[in-house]
Amino acid sequence: MVIKTDSTGALSTIGVEAKTGDGRWISLVPPTAVTSFSQGKAGLVIPLLGAHENTEFSRVRLSWSANSGHPLVLEHIALYAR
């Protein structure tokens, strides 16, 4: 997953959850400091592979915290196939 914002200083942490076929939400990426992710031209690169890499999900949910005083504007979110 790649997330691009209008200001890299606006985000503090990012987390990703996914909904399984039986309706459970599971954590793919726990809330993590954005400085832990690599930054490319397209934005923050958030790897989603792990224990659930062969599971199909019906929904993906992002959670984040922003640094106070900084508005957060998402420019794009991109999901790439494995």
* Per-domain residue ranges of the chain: 2-78
Buried b (16+ CB within 10 A) or exposed e, 35-63: eebeeeeebbebebeeeeeeeebeeeeee
User: What pLDDT does residue 2 have?
Assistant: 93
User: What pLDDT does residue 14 have?
Assistant: 92
Per-residue pLDDT of the chain (82 residues; tens, 9 = 90+): 999 887 767 788 999 999 988 999 999 999 999 999 999 888 999 988 776 777 788 899 999 888 877 777 888 998 876 6
User: What pLDDT does residue 37 have?
Assistant: 92
User: What pLDDT does residue 61 have?
Assistant: 93
